[in-house]
Chain A
Amino acid sequence: MAATAKFSLARPVRHFFQKHFERWLARRIPNQPEHQLNSRNIMIYPTRFGLAYLGFVVLVFLLGTNYQNNIILLFSYLLASLFISVMLHSFYNFSQLRFYSVAKQQGYAEQPLYFVIKITTEKTHYDINAHFTDKALNSQVEKIELCQQGSHELRLVYRTLQRGKHWLGRVTVFSEYSLGLFKSKSILDFGHFAIIYPKAKSLIAGQYQLSGQADEPSIDSYQSTNSVGTDDFSELKSFVRGESKARTAWKQLAKGQGHYSKHYQAEQSQLQWLKLSEMPSNDVEIQLAYLSFLIGELTASNQSFGLQLSAELSNQSMNISPNSGFHHQQACLTALALYS
């Protein structure tokens, strides 16, 4: 009983300290894309081995004193001062490192995201480790054993199932170089966050294609008026790999004038909007997953599309007007990720 009471008392206290520590940290090491380590942002403290070593030195001192043995005393003094010089070495090994990292990374859920931390050094450093400070992220410690003059890269992996925008917090960088007696550590804030897109869930192939035969029933939900004959032919463009063979201008090809594909006005106007409400599922997450897949596919085939997440067309923040290309894809996927 007493233990639980103690625990309940300890928690707010710990919480209080943590809060203050975080505030202090935010002042001390503010959010920056680039950090250089110096005495302002390096924390250095003995490791458990360091403390054990100190105890050991005291033991040797006792041995020397009890035997009135000057050499053993000298031995213990030497080990004690080694403790201090190792601390300084540890500090100098760690200082003057420069870290640079881009704050934002985006990717699909369940896929690993790599946060690259660039390290530039002016001399050789040893045993540089990094991981996300947040323990809940279970981030593995990435290590550079030998950091020679020049630049190096550390890649922190982040992987999650949950779509959305995730703040990853600070990155702990530490080194136990020299003898493992001290841990030099810095908790850098690059403002890392991850935009996690919903994992693409494939609709059966052909659902979104411009094929004349709409054999899938589900496709009718948003391609109901679509048929080849009624489209207004607009232009011929050079064939781009990945385009549907159905659009090939066979006449021109047969004449040997080159491989062209026909482009239709109506096709674009009809497929202009990917609508959340029209996705074949009741679960929003699955609907988003379908959309994620469709966005990828449409971008791959270089088609133009818009994204409509809310029913009202006027809602500018939820709807993205038709466009194509990489940036458009990113914008759409981000919108999916942030949909709530």
Chain B
Amino acid sequence: MIFFKNKSKKVSADTVGGVKRQTKSKAKSNFYLSRKNAWLLWLCQCLNISVIALELSTWMLAIIALSLAWQALLLHQGREKGNSLSKNNPATGQTHRKNSRQDHQHIFRQSIGQNTRQKKQQATNVSPIVLGIFALLGCVAIVITAKQVGILASMLHLLCFSYALKGFELRSRSDFYQLQLLGLFVLAASLIFRQDLAFSLITFALLVLNLAVLLQFFSFEKAFVTNIKVVIVLLGQSAILAIVLFLVFPRLSPFWQVPLAKSAETGLSDTVKPGDIANLTRSTKLAFRADFGQQKVPNYSLLYWRAMVLEEYDGRQWSRQHKSTRNKTAVAAKNFSFDNSATEISPLSYQVIVEPSFQKYLFALAPAVVTGDAKGIQAQADHTFNNSKIISQAKSYRLTSYLTAPLTLELTKQSRQLNLSYPQGSNPRLEQLALQLQHNYVDVQARAQAVLNIINKENYSYTLQPPLLDNNSLDQFFFDTQAGFCVHYASVFTFVMRASGIPARMVTGYLGGEYNGVTNTGDNTGQLANKGHLSIYQYDAHAWSEIWVEGKGWLRVDPTSAVDPERVNSGWSTQLLQQQSELNNDLFSLYRMKNIAWLNALRLQFDALDYQWTRWVIGFTSKQQYDLFKNWFGKMVSWKLALIIAVSLVISMSMLMLFLHLLNRSKTKPQSLTKWQVIYQKAMGKLAKQGMEKPLSMTVNDFAKQVRQQCPELAIVFTRLSASYNRLCYQMLSTNEQEKLMLTMQQQYQQFVQVLKIIDKKSSRLYSYI
């Protein structure tokens, strides 16, 4: 029967088909974004691209900016078209005004309104052929430049390019969804390059914004701010599960080789010219952090973080030993790592967390040995450490240093030769000075001290803006300009030492660091309790010298201490800071920050937070995960691990469900019953026992009537009770009157109960008679 009916309906549908098919096709193209939402989407696109903009090449940025501007123009034109049309037609004008007030286009239900919308869509749509050609050209450009910029970057280019172009063809809902997902992917991809707390927070904020735009599509009647709130609540609820997943979900090793990020290298470079480090020190970016745990942080003047040793000098710049020669020395000295068994010096153990520098060198307080996980870390003969791969994200490692232990007591012939060589005649005046010193001071250390004395006594200055030197001539600096930064002094010192026959070399790295945290002294134990870390910024970059002394090994000599002792003992002088802030010329320069107390406190707080973030979130490796499990649940077996994962997921999921359930419950919580309602309910209960039940839909008065008919004995009492109940419920009464009425109602109820009892007795008697 039903089947037949369906068939007949089909026939009928076909006959009306003409109209209906039209409506159907209309429904298909029924997608439109509200004005506000369209602009918000556009804004989202701009912001999403801006977080990854640093990794894109300029031409791609230009193209993206162009297409986004074009989209903005189309959006703007769309509105103007709508306005002009509404002016022509007063009726549409009205709907339009209403529309703009509510700020969405859904009110365009009228056919005229639909017309405007169609026109608008025509205006906002660019012809697909133009778009296709544009896309094709872009792809060709990306392919051409792929070799130059690397695979990862060209993939990113492709992603951003498609993201920008997708905005042109928002024809259906799925286009909108695709655009949203692309946007989220751009956000995720931007995290490849930076992971610090500030950037993560920005990404999170953008995630909220993106999701709010998506939510706006489904509830555009709400203000955007409330939508943002809803999204934050949603994400907050999801955070429970996300954190559990983060903690317990097994860290997998990479599934396949991925192209590595090739970002601009930051920090020190392989070669150093006078003036190089001065440029670097303008940067206030973080280089790395060190955590000494409970130990006392060594004095500032001992914190020479060694990064690279530069042994070759060509008259202009210092550079690392060539690979070929380094390999030779590598064969000669197999065991690079410092032999810690022989020393009696108390060890200093600490953890270093390096920020991504896109280079390979690591930092250490020499001499040091790697403790703990030494995977991928290579110790070098010159007491530096290298990572086997480019450091593209924060990396942490543990070191143990023996600060006062001598470095390399025996110097190989090759090494001695290398550290004595200098291009003859490159700086004749300095060579002359060196010969003179060699003659005057036989003792090696005395000779070194003599150079430092000259620097200290004469009118040398320490400045971030050293005058330029012709051909990096050390002569010119030492005898004429007499103003320079650490590399100038270290270069001159090393040069003079070499010229006077002492093996000497240049070392670059960082000096000092900013201690962030509280140091509690005088606990019960009297020991120092540290809670904090050392942050070393790019402006802490430094260069110093080492000379080799028979029986003492490589000795560190820092010529900077002779010209600016403050730099070496406690950090930058105010003068330098001022210079830096002038050079940088930005509002939040370090100098200003350090001068405003609360701002500085805030900066330190954020730094501390960022440190914890780096340590616990970025640095949460599979090993740490394993240790965590071990701490909590004892020895790990694979089935136990699986059990933990499953149980914790289930628990957190059910917690989330319970939480949401309670949240929704509380909203629909029934109002507590008032006193009179309680009494009336009781009376209802008694009547129900007598076989008189009140249907929910029946009014109180109607029910009273029914009772009157069914049970005349009860009529009077129950009608009175109902009347007072009605008055209490629906009349506006003062509290006094209410109380009075309540009392009477209670009395009425008691009467009612008595009458009921009498009826009961009667009926029971009746039964007994029968």
| A143-185 contacts to B (CB < 8 Å) | 145-146, 159-162, 164, 166-167, 176-180
Q: Whole-angstrom distance between the alpha carbons of A80 and B238 in the complex?
A: 8
- A56-B181 in contact (CB<8A): yes
Q: List residues of B (336-362) whose CB comes within 8 Å of A's CBs.
A: none
Look across to chain A and name the residue whose beta carbon is closest to the beta carbon of B660.
A88
Q: Does the CB pair A77–B249 fall under 8 Å?
A: yes
Shortest CB distance A190–B (Å): 16
Q: Is the CB of B188 within 8 A of A178?
A: no
Tell which of B10, B219, B241, B667 touches A84, judged by Cβ atoms closer than 8 Å.
Answer: B241
Stretch at the interface among B13-21, B79-87, B592-600: B13-21
Chain B residues in 8 Å Cβ range of A89: 234, 660
Is A127 interfacial (CB-CB < 8 Å)?
Answer: yes
Contact flags (1/0) for A55-74 with B, using CB distance below 8 Å?
Answer: 01001101111111111111
A227 cross-chain contacts in B, Cβ below 8 A: none
A140 to B21, CA, bound (A): 11
**Is the Cβ of B238 less than 8 Å from the Cβ of A122?**
no
- Interface contact B184-A79, CB-CB below 8 Å: yes
Among the stretches B251-259, B539-547, B583-591, the one at the interface with A is: B251-259
Which residues 155-200 of B have a CB within 8 angstroms of A?
173-174, 177, 181, 184-185, 187-189, 191-192, 195, 200
Instruction: Tell whether A224 is near chain B: CB-to-CB under 8 Å.
Output: no
User: Is A339 located at the chain interface by the 8 A CB criterion?
Assistant: no
- Partner-contacting stretch, out of B209-217, B567-575, B721-729: B209-217
Q: Are B660 and A136 in contact (CB under 8 A)?
A: no
Question: In the complex, are the beta carbons of B667 and A123 less than 8 A apart?
Answer: yes
Q: Check if A86 sits within 8 Å of B234, measured CB to CB.
A: yes
Q: Assuming A60-B185, A66-B256, A180-B177, is B191 touching A92 (CB within 8 A)?
A: no
A residues 66-102 touching B (CB-CB < 8 Å): 66-82, 84-86, 88-89, 92, 95-96
**Interface 1/0s, chain B 224-246, versus A by CB < 8 A?**
00000000001101111110011
For the complex, count residues of A whose C-beta is within 8 A of B.
60
Establish whether residues A161 and B235, one from each chain, have CB atoms under 8 Å apart when the complex forms.
no
Q: Is the CB of A180 within 8 A of B188?
A: no
Interface residues on B, range: 35 or more
Name which residue of chain B comes closest to A143, CB basis. B106
B211 — which chain A residues lie within 8 A by C-beta?
82, 179
Closest to B21 in A: A138
Q: Which of A81, A96, A179 contacts B218 (CB 8 A)?
A: A179
CB distance from B216 to the nearest CB of A (A): 10
Say how far B302's CB is from chain A's closest CB, in angstroms.
Answer: 33
Instruction: Determine how close the nearest CB of chain A comes to the CB of B615; give it in whole angstroms.
Output: 11
Report the Cα distance A52→B173, complex, angstroms. 13
Inter-chain CA distance A317–B409, complex, in Å, is 122
Residue from A80, A138, A140, A160 with most neighbouring chain B CB atoms (10 Å): A138
Q: How far is the CB of B659 from chain A (nearest CB, A)?
A: 9
Pick from A62, A85, A126, A136: contact of B238, CB under 8 Å: A85
B220 proximity list for chain A (CB < 8 A)? 145
Task: Verify if A294 is at the interface (C-beta below 8 Å from B).
Answer: no
B617 at the A/B interface (Cβ < 8 Å)?
yes
The smallest C-beta distance from A43 to any residue of chain B, in angstroms, reads: 18
Tell me how far the C-beta of A172 lies from the nearest C-beta in chain B, rounded to whole angstroms. 15
Residue pair B656, A59 in contact (C-beta under 8 Å): no
Q: Does A17 contact B (CB under 8 A)?
A: no
* Binding stretch for chain A, among B1-9, B136-144, B412-420: B1-9
Q: Which residue of B is nearest A55, CB measured?
A: B181
Chain B nearest CB from A323 CB (Å) reads 31
Task: Let me know if A178 and B215 touch, CB within 8 A.
Answer: yes
- Cβ of A311 < 8 Å from any Cβ of B? no
With A70-B617, A145-B221, A179-B218: A49-B246 Cβ-Cβ less than 8 Å: no
Asked if A208 CB lies within 8 Å of chain B CBs, one says no
Is A53 a contact of B239 with CB atoms below 8 Å?
A: no
Q: Is B601 an interface residue when CB atoms closer than 8 A count as contact?
A: no
Do residues A136 and B188 form an inter-chain contact, with CB atoms below 8 A? no
Contacts of B620 in A (CB 8 A): 70
The answer to whether A127 touches B195 (Cβ under 8 A) is no
Shortest distance from the beta carbon of B612 to any chain A beta carbon, whole Å: 14
Task: State A269–B359 Cα separation when bound (angstroms).
Answer: 110
- B181 near A84: Cβ-Cβ < 8 Å: no
Whether B657 pairs with A88 at a CB distance below 8 angstroms is yes
B192, A67: Cβ atoms closer than 8 Å: yes
**Distance of B736 from chain A, by nearest CB (Å):** 33
CB pair A134–B191 under 8 Å, yes or no, is: no
Pairwise interchain contact A49-B177, C-beta atoms closer than 8 A: yes
| Smallest CB-CB A-B distances: 4 pairs | A81-B241, A81-B238, A77-B245, A146-B221
A-B contact pairs, 25 of them (CB 8 A): A53-B181, A56-B184, A66-B258, A71-B618, A81-B241, A81-B245, A86-B234, A88-B657, A95-B664, A122-B667, A127-B218, A134-B6, A136-B10, A137-B9, A138-B20, A138-B23, A141-B27, A145-B221, A161-B15, A164-B8, A179-B218, A180-B173, A180-B177, A180-B214, A180-B218
Q: A53-B181, A85-B660, A138-B13 are in contact. List 10 more A-B contacts (CB 8 A).
A: A60-B188, A64-B188, A69-B195, A80-B245, A122-B668, A123-B668, A166-B9, A176-B218, A179-B215, A180-B177
Interface residues of chain A, those whose CB is within 8 Å of chain B, are 48-49, 52-53, 56, 59-60, 62-82, 84-86, 88-89, 92, 95-96, 122-123, 126-127, 134, 136-138, 140-141, 145-146, 159-162, 164, 166-167, 176-180
